[in-house]
């Protein structure tokens, strides 16, 4: 009897829990899933993104709104200034200032403005030449340079009758005027400057630096009739640099 009961139960069709009977239904009809997708309520199909006639990209439309992707107004990132301009590095002006120092060219008001990138390179070149010569005097260079710049800045503001000068301009002019000392430090790597040769080259270097820097200060501070009064303290500042280089 048990066997007959089991056989009768297995012969009955299996009922579908969601309703209906599965008897005689094809397998394809059983595999019915929820067909939502982009056509479901509450969701809008996105518009394909691609280039437009204005050179930008199309926007993406959703139920929450539209999202613009790289439109024409978002191209400001390509109009950013170059890196040198952002760092306020002007190679052309630096070159003109160096040419004014080397060839004693005239200086206009534009070249007399403050610029620290050129002096930083000049001071770094001087320190490198001294290091190759076996002289590690970085503390003396920085200490005397700061004292000289501050002292000369105070003196120029006291002497000037047409407005003062800022400390950055003083440091910039003294830094560019240090270029002849770089030449002397480079020559001192190969030739010993201790003796008569060092005295001659050292004196010529001090005069060269003093004439150049005093001309820059004359233009920057508008001290037309006080150039030679400026030249004396400027020459004292460059004298220590030459002494460090020679000895």
Q: What is the pLDDT of residues 45-96, one digit of tens each?
A: 555 555 554 555 444 455 445 444 454 455 555 567 677 667 777 888 888 8
CA distance 216 to 212: 6
**Of the spans 3-7, 102-106, 211-215, 219-223, which averages the highest pLDDT?**
211-215
Mean pLDDT of the chain: 74
Residue 48: helix, strand or coil by DSSP? Answer: coil
CA distance 221 to 247: 34
CA-CA distances (angstroms) from residue 168 to 31, 86, 149, 245? 81, 19, 9, 25
Taking residues 105-126, report their average pLDDT.
80
Q: Is the pTM of this model over 0.85?
A: no
Per-residue pLDDT, 110: 66
Which of the pair, 230 or 64, is modelled with greater confidence? 230
Which of the pair, 72 or 97, is modelled with greater confidence? 97
Share of residues in the chain with pLDDT > 90 (%): 19
CA distance 136 to 19: 95
């Amino acid at each position: 009897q048990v066997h007959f009961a089991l056989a009768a139960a297995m012969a009955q069709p299996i009922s579908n829990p969601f309703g209906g009977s599965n008897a005689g239904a094809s397998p394809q009809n059983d595999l019915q899933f929820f067909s939502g997708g982009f056509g479901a309520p509450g969701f809008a199909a996105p518009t394909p993104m691609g280039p437009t006639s204005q050179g930008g990209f199309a926007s993406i439309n959703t139920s929450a709104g539209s999202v613009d992707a790289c439109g024409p107004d978002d191209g400001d990132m390509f109009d950013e200034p170059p890196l040198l301009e952002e760092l306020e590095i002007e190679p052309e002006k630096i070159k003109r200032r160096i040419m004014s120092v080397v060839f004693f060219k005239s200086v206009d008001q534009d070249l007399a403005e403050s610029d620290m990138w050129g002096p930083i390179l000049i001071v770094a070149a001087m320190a490198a030449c001294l290091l190759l010569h076996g002289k590690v005097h970085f503390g003396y260079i920085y200490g005397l340079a700061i004292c000289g710049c501050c002292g000369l800045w105070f003196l120029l503001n006291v002497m000037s009758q047409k407005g003062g000068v800022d400390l950055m301009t003083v440091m910039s002019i003294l830094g560019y005027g240090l270029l002849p000392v770089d030449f002397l430090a480079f020559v001192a790597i190969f030739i010993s400057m201790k003796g008569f040769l060092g005295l001659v080259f050292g004196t010529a270097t001090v005069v060269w630096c003093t004439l150049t820097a005093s001309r820059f200060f004359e233009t920057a501070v508008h001290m037309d009739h006080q150039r030679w009064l400026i030249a004396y303290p400027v020459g004292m500042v460059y004298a220590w640099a030459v002494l460090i280089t020679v000895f």
